[in-house]
Amino acid sequence: MRKRKLLALTTVGILFHLLGQAQQQTILGLETYFEEAYWRYPNIPRGLLEATAYSASRLTNLQPTGHDAENCTGMPPRYGLFALVENGRGYFRNNLLTVCNISGITPEQYNNDVRLQILSVAKFLSREASMRQWDALMSTEAFAVVFDKLAEFPDDSSVINKYALALFKYDIYDHLRNGFNTPSLKRAPVKVQLEQIFPAPLLQKLQSPVVEINTATDSVLFSTTAVTADAANKTIFTNNRIGKSGSTTEADISGADYAAALYVRAHTNNYQNGRNNASITHITIHTAQGSYAALISWFKNPGAHNSAHYIIRASDGQVTQMVKENDMAYHMQSANSNTIGIVHEGYAAYGNKWFSDKMYLSSAALVRDICTRRSIDAASCYQGLATASMNVQGAAFHIKGHQHYSGNTHTDPGKYWNWSRYADMLQEKYTPETSEKIQYATITNGIYRITNVNSKKVLNTRDCSGAPLALVTQTAWSGKDCQRWRFEYAGDGWYKITNMVSGRALDVPGGSKENIQVHLKDPKENDCQLWRLLEVGKKGELRLVNKASEKVLEVFGSSVNNGAAVLQSAWLGKSRQKWTLVAANESEMGEEAHHFKKVHFENAEAIPTGN
């Protein structure tokens, strides 16, 4: 009996552990929480809150432990979806405390409630925008200046921290314009005019994955071509050039060891000139436990006593060099003298959200280049299983992770680093998957009426029914719920379209059969309920393409009558197959979308509303 009880308790413990891991991967309710934040604080442009959280944490509720074995950079721990700092260790601003003070909550309350994280950050940003006396219709681009106050970087007017702040804001807007897909939330790309936010020379530097410092001409050259590790032909550069007057770092004239790197020198307290006559024999892979921008700023902190030679950005693989290779960076304790350290943006525990193909490929190109110049065998990379703990490997592996060295307690890059794929990249055996890019239209998640170009009638359900298998027809617009459709982005240009009368999804029966009338069905994860918007003609005309059948919506027989059936059919370019979308007026939507509950705590109640 005792064994059975022990087994039962062990099983329950494992289930709770797995549940905790699953909750960190998928956070339920984010769609509603962000919608509530925009309702409470309408002066925040839609999409920016989600992009900020995605940029900061990949929508992970960060909860670092007291002993962070993955943190080899010495940066302060970060909390929640927005990766805020509670204790900046005398360098970073304590932006978590600032956000909490504005909403009258404690850090513990903030950390324990994802919804409160979103609402309190929204309140902070809304308040900062209001203090600047801007109206509620300020543009997405104009809002960029508000992020100056949310960022953790010291407000010391230094060149490097201004540059780090620009990197911080660029990453937010880059994810906004590219969109993102996570198990918790998906967002379609949004058109952003980056040139309205950043001066052209700075924008070019922020965007370019390949940047060379040219010491001979005292300038910075940018390339749009791929990085190569061929010693005879390292990189081909464009003619785009910024002189010293356009520089955004204080070390542009120094030059980088790796032609594809931007060189920003770390503070002299954080590395040693020379290597005590030791030879470079090994390359070490690290994880930042934070952002690319934050690490660049942190390595300029005289109190960090920590550095690495290179940092790589997750989104596109941009490389920044912080310490010259012939100098000793402080990253590996007793192994500093003969190693080159490369830090990758992100968090080891959530590397599956951060370690992108572009980051891997850029890192591999850098390491190949180092191997060529330093006579290191690129085939001597560790290729075994990734682990979450220490896993000491012998000196024969010249390219390996921090966790593979003896005499240290760190466990990065952790269980998600794909060593076999990385080794293939180093030996140029890996071919990235490519697919034809389809030009689809994207819209903001929301409620729309769908109007046929030929008949000028809107999509609805027969007899305004929301029942399962209710048939879809057209009729004149009267503002009823059955005529309003919610579009929710599902990734890669696809949308789930649900009817507001019942929440059931627009669905195609009968596979790819021609002229089958579409209907409503309970929402499910299948291709019959996914639709793409492809632009046709002028004035926002679209065809709605079903993923399962590859057929389009059309009105039967080009009818202009109320009640005419809406079918799926092959695309012929007819006006009966073309549609326009108009967002539903909020005054027509009633109050059902705005019934958000208060936030209750054990001994207090916090409602972060108003400014």
435: pLDDT confidence band, cut at 50, 70 and 90?
low
Task: Determine if residue 85 is left, alpha or beta; phi over 0 gives left, psi from -120 to 50 gives alpha, anything else beta.
Answer: beta
Position 595, amino acid: H
Q: What is the pLDDT of residue 137?
A: 72
CA dihedral 475, 476, 481, 482 (to 10 degrees): 0
Please give the model's pTM, rounded to 2 decimal places: 0.84
Query: Are 447 and 499 in contact, with CB atoms under 8 Å apart?
Result: no
Is the model more confident about 236 or about 315?
A: 315
CA distance 577 to 170: 39
Residue-wise pLDDT for 322-371, tens only, equals: 999 999 999 998 899 999 999 999 999 999 999 999 999 999 999 999 99
Residue-wise pLDDT for 512-535, tens only, equals: 889 999 999 999 999 999 999 999
CA distance 489 to 501: 20
For the segment 59-77, the average pLDDT, to the nearest whole number, is 85
Q: Is 67 exposed, middle or buried (0-12, 13-18, 19+ CB in 10 A)?
A: exposed
Residue-wise pLDDT for 473-514, tens only, equals: 999 999 999 999 999 999 999 999 999 999 999 999 978 889
Q: What is the pLDDT of residue 269?
A: 95
Q: Is 313 exposed, middle or buried (0-12, 13-18, 19+ CB in 10 A)?
A: buried
Nearest CA to 148 out of 167, 133, 134 is that of: 167
Query: Are 260 and 234 in contact, with CB atoms under 8 Å apart?
Result: yes
Q: What is the 3-state secondary structure (H, E, C) of 218-245?
A: CEEEEECCCCCCCCCCCCCCCCCEEEHH
219: pLDDT confidence band, cut at 50, 70 and 90?
very low
Give backbone dihedrals phi and psi of 352, rounded to 5 degrees, phi first. Answer: -65, -20
Q: Is pLDDT above 90 for 308?
A: yes
Q: What is the pLDDT of residue 298?
A: 96
Alpha helices per DSSP H over 255-356? 292-298, 351-354
CA angle 170, 361, 404 (to 5 degrees): 105
552: pLDDT confidence band, cut at 50, 70 and 90?
very high
Q: Beta strand pairing status for 472-475 and 458-461? A: antiparallel
Alpha helices per DSSP H over 262-346? 292-298
Residue-wise pLDDT for 563-576, tens only, equals: 999 999 999 999 99
Q: C-alpha distances in angstroms, 347 versus 70, 135, 314, 369, 415?
A: 8, 38, 11, 26, 11
CA distance 262 to 542: 43
Q: What is the pLDDT of residue 260?
A: 82
Which residues on adjacent β-strands are paired with residue 219?
214, 243
Q: Is pLDDT above 50 for 236?
A: no
Q: Is pLDDT above 60 for 237?
A: no
For the segment 130-142, the average pLDDT, to the nearest whole number, is 79
Half-sphere exposure in the Cβ direction for 557 (13 Å, CA): 8
Nearest CA to 202 out of 236, 234, 235, 173 is that of: 173
319: pLDDT confidence band, cut at 50, 70 and 90?
very high
CA distance 475 to 451: 9
Q: Is pLDDT above 60 for 88?
A: yes
Q: Is pLDDT above 80 for 162?
A: yes
CB contact set of 150 (below 8 Å; sequence gap of 6+):
52, 82, 95, 99, 121, 124, 125, 128
Nearest CA to 291 out of 263, 311, 270 is that of: 311
Position 496, amino acid: K
Which residues on adjacent β-strands are paired with residue 583?
448
Residue-wise pLDDT for 100-114, tens only, equals: 999 999 999 999 999
Q: Is pLDDT above 80 for 24?
A: no
CA distance 162 to 28: 36
Residue-wise pLDDT for 253-294, tens only, equals: 346 898 888 888 899 999 999 999 999 999 999 999 999 999
Domains of the chain: 27-191 (1.10.530), 261-426 (3.40.80.10), 446-592 (2.80.10.50)
Is the model more confident about 66 or about 556?
A: 556
Q: C-alpha distances in angstroms, 585 versus 355, 444, 464?
A: 41, 14, 20
Least-confidence region, from 41-50, 214-223, 480-489, 575-584:
214-223
Query: Are 579 and 453 in contact, with CB atoms under 8 Å apart?
Result: yes
Q: What is the 3-state secondary structure (H, E, C) of 172-211?
A: HHHHHHHCEECCCCEECCCCCCHHHCCCHHHHHHHHCCEE
Mean pLDDT of the chain: 85
Position 497, amino acid: I
CA distance 344 to 311: 6
Rg value, the chain, Cα: 27
Exposure letters 461-500 (e unless 16+ CB within 10 A, then b): bbebbeeeebbbbbbeeeeebbbbbbbbbbeebbbbbbbb
CA distance 170 to 609: 28
Q: How many residues does the chain have?
A: 611
Q: What is the pLDDT of residue 518?
A: 97
* 242: its two tokens: 């910024």
CA distance 556 to 475: 13
CA distance 152 to 138: 24
Give backbone dihedrals phi and psi of 138, rounded to 5 degrees, phi first. Answer: -60, 150
207: pLDDT confidence band, cut at 50, 70 and 90?
confident
Which residues on adjacent β-strands are paired with residue 78?
85
Q: Is pLDDT above 60 for 589?
A: no
CA distance 397 to 582: 60
Query: Does residue 247 sit in helix, strand or coil?
Result: coil
Q: How many CB atoms lie within 10 A of CB 156?
A: 9
Position 410, amino acid: H
455: pLDDT confidence band, cut at 50, 70 and 90?
very high
Q: What is the pLDDT of residue 134?
A: 59
Query: Does residue 416 sit in helix, strand or coil?
Result: coil
Q: What is the pLDDT of residue 235?
A: 28
Nearest CA to 423 out of 378, 482, 489, 359 is that of: 378
585: pLDDT confidence band, cut at 50, 70 and 90?
low
